[in-house]
Structure 1
Amino acid sequence: MPSLIHMNQIYKIYNPGENEVRALDGVSLDIQEGEFVAIIGHSGSGKSTLMNMIGCLDEPTSGTYYLHGKNVLGMSDNEQSEVRNEELGFIFQGFNLIPNLDALGNVELPLIYRGLDRKKRRDLARYALNQVGLSSRMSHKPSEMSGGQQQRVAVARAIAARPPVILADEPTGNLDSHSTDEIMSILKNLHAAGKTVIIITHDPDIAEQAHRIIAISDGKIIKDTRTAL
């Protein structure tokens, strides 16, 4: 069976020539459907650049990338936007919520771009907020919620359209230990329900909760191990 994610010899080079920076330096990677993967590395290691490649947010200098058997790099901008909309759910460290929208509005917003009618997107948004334990906070704006609650809204937004792949970039980076445990529990439940979950982190304790750990340094994968979970 073909890999869900197949990358071969991915390079991302800035300032080509004498002073070039290789953010990604020949990365080859396969991730199967249903895996729970942590990509770990220090600041500047290339892990966020790799996430941007996986998430079709950036294009490499060279290499090949197939997602669900589709050649992503051969697509137009509009086609890549469709892939992001339908295949991928994003969770960011900074939450990226709209301040003047309540939780329901924030979760519903990406569904508007998918062309869903109002009732359908409202139902999906409510269901997603229920999944992350925020059924009583749907009418609250980000300023009226804790950091952990805001990140749960961000998770609900990522999963509302039911994408098969969840990409989480430092999802617990701004959270206390209790909120971190809550978010990790939600991600584990999503994986148990069949989602492919990919976490980008610098924290070994977070990485150890995944089933596979890919370590990256200086733009290269230096280790790829399965955990004992």
Structure 2
Amino acid sequence: MSALVEVKDICKIYNPGENEVRALDHVSLSIETGEFVAIIGQSGSGKSTLMNMLGCLDTPTSGTYFLNGQDVSTLTDDEQSDIRNKEIGFIFQGFNLISNLTARENVELPLIYRGVPKKERERLSEESLKIVGLAHRMDHKPNEMSGGQQQRVAIARAIAAKPPVILADEPTGNLDSGSSKEILQILKELYKGGRTVILITHDNGIAAQAKRVIRIMDGHIVEDYINEDVVF
């Protein structure tokens, strides 16, 4: 059985030539279905570039990327957009909610783009909001919720269509410590429920919550290990 995520010898080079920058330098990794992986690195390490590759937001200069069995490394922008919509649930540091929509409507929006019928959209959005503990806030708008609640709406939006990959980019970056713990607990529960979670962070404490840790530095993977201390 092939891995859910399979990156083979990927390079991303900016300004090719004498002043080239190798943001990713022959990176290879695989992630199986149902893993909880943290990719950690400081600013300039290449982790954001790697996240963009994994999220089909960019294409590599060389190398291949198979997502759910499909080679996505050479797709056009439109094809990548289609893959992102179907295969990846994104959770961003900045929530990216639409202010004049309720929690339910924010969760439904990507489902509209996928052509999901209205009744099914409503069912999926309510189901995912219940999973993140917001059954009582479905009709509230973002400005009526705390930062932690807004991020839970963003998680509900990411998981509603049941995509194979949940890609969380610094999901606790804008939250206080209490809200951060709540968000990490939700991600752990998703993992325990069989979801594949890829967490991008610069914080060792956050990375230590994941079952597997991949450390990137200067465009190279320098560590890749199972975190034996984590108990779910």
The alignment's TM-score, normalised by the length of structure 2, stands at 0.96
Superposition deviation, residue 97 in structure 1: 0.7
Give, in whole Å, the separation in 1 of the partners of 2:124 and 2:13: 40
Q: Distance in 1 between matches of 2:75 and 2:204?
A: 35
Where does residue 69 of structure 2 map in the other structure? Answer: 69
Q: Which whole-Å CA distance do the structure 1 matches of 2:76 and 2:25 have between them?
A: 25
- Cα distance in 2, alignment partners of residues 112 and 102 from structure 1: 15
Match of 2:104 in 1: 104
- Give the number of equivalent residue pairs: 229
Taking only the aligned residue pairs, the percentage that are identical comes to 67
Partners of 1:171 and 1:90 in 2: CA distance: 10
Aligned-partner residue type, residue 88 of structure 1: I
Deviations 1:146-188 (A, max 9, x none): 1101100000000010112100000001111110111011101
Alignment-derived partner of residue 185 in structure 1: 185
Structure 2 residue aligned with 1:56:
56
1:172 maps to: 172
Deviating more after overlay: 80-89 vs 122-131: 80-89
Q: Give the match's secondary structure for 1:8.
A: strand
2:113 is aligned to 113
Matched, 1:94 2:94: yes
* Alpha-carbon RMSD: 1.0
Q: Residues 177-200 of structure 1, C-alpha deviation per residue, up to 9 Å, x if partnerless?
A: 110111011101111111110000
Conserved? CA contact 2:10–2:60, under 8 Å: yes
Please tell me whether residue 17 in structure 1 is matched to residue 17 in structure 2.
Answer: yes
What is the CA–CA distance in structure 1 between the aligned matches of 2:171 and 2:94, rounded to whole Å? 8
How far 1:222 moved relative to its partner? 0.7
**Cα distance in 2 between the residues matched to 1:183 and 1:21:** 35
Q: Give distance in 2, aligned partners of 1:24 and 1:98.
A: 33
Which position in structure 2 is the counterpart of 1:148?
A: 148
- 1:115 is paired with a residue of what secondary structure? coil
Moved more, 211-220 or 69-78: 69-78
SS of structure 2 residue aligned to 1:121: helix
**Preserved CA contact (<8 Å) 2:59 2:74:** no
In structure 1, the partner of 2:222 is 222
Any stretches of 5+ residues in structure 2 without a counterpart?
none
Any stretches of 5+ residues in structure 1 without a counterpart? none
Tell me, in whole angstroms, the C-alpha distance in 1 between the residues paired with 2:82 and 2:95: 22
CA distance in 2 between counterparts of 1:29 and 1:116 reads 33
| Structure 2 counterpart of 1:26 | 26
Shift of 1:77: 3.4
Name the SS of the counterpart of 1:181 in structure 2: helix
Q: Distance in 2 between matches of 1:158 and 1:74?
A: 25
- Quote the offset at 1:84 in angstroms: 1.3
Per-residue CA deviations over 1:117-164 (Å, capped at 9, x if unaligned) read 111101111111111011111111111111101100000000010112
Whole-angstrom distance in 2 between the partners of 1:120 and 1:77: 28
Q: Which amino acid aligns with 1:78?
A: D
Q: 1:79: how far off?
A: 3.1
Contact kept in structure 1, 2:167 and 2:199, CA below 8 Å? yes
